[in-house]
Amino acid sequence: MKIRKDKDVRDGLMVSMGLMTLGLATLMLGSDREYGWLVLGIILTLVALYKAVKPSKDFIEDERSLRNKEKAGYHAFSVMLILIILLNLLYFYKMWMPLPSQIYALLFFVGVYVWIAFQWMYNKKGE
């Protein structure tokens, strides 16, 4: 098994190490709820290591999946804008007044999962 040491792998490891440093910094500040950075860093490290043991031509995206990714990104962007407008109205009329930290988690997870769902849908359905 040959392990690659090129630019992609190095960049992935750099990003994951930066995220883990941020996570450790927040933990050292005494926070008990920002484990997400650390978990994200660990996941990205595993992804980078997985990519390192595969040949680089396995990860060249074809036209179709790139197109689906971008299309899903556009629709996720629209969904997030509509969601932000709705949350803003709810806050404005004092129907739901959450903490900012709750909102960040909500926006992050809704955005990422909507993106994944749209990508799955377009991959299945075609154009």
**Site for another protein (CB under 8 A): which residue of 9, 17, 26, 51?**
26
Angle between helices 63-92 and 100-125 (to 10 degrees): 150
Q: Does residue 38 interact with another protein by CB under 8 A?
A: no
Q: Does residue 115 interact with another protein by CB under 8 A?
A: yes
Measured between alpha carbons, how far is 101 from 26 in angstroms, rounded to an integer? 14
**Nearest to another protein of 108, 120 (CB atom):** 108
CA distances from 72 to 13, 44, 47, 66 (A): 26, 22, 22, 10
**Site for another protein (CB under 8 A): which residue of 88, 113, 120, 121?**
88
Q: How far is the CB of 64 from another protein (least distance, A)?
A: 13
Q: Which helix (H) or strand (E) holds 12?
A: helix 7-28
3-state SS class at 55: coil
Q: Does residue 80 interact with another protein by CB under 8 A?
A: yes
Applying CB under 8 A, which residues contact another protein? 22, 26, 29-31, 34, 67, 69-78, 80-81, 84-85, 87-88, 91-92, 97-101, 103-104, 107-108, 111-112, 115
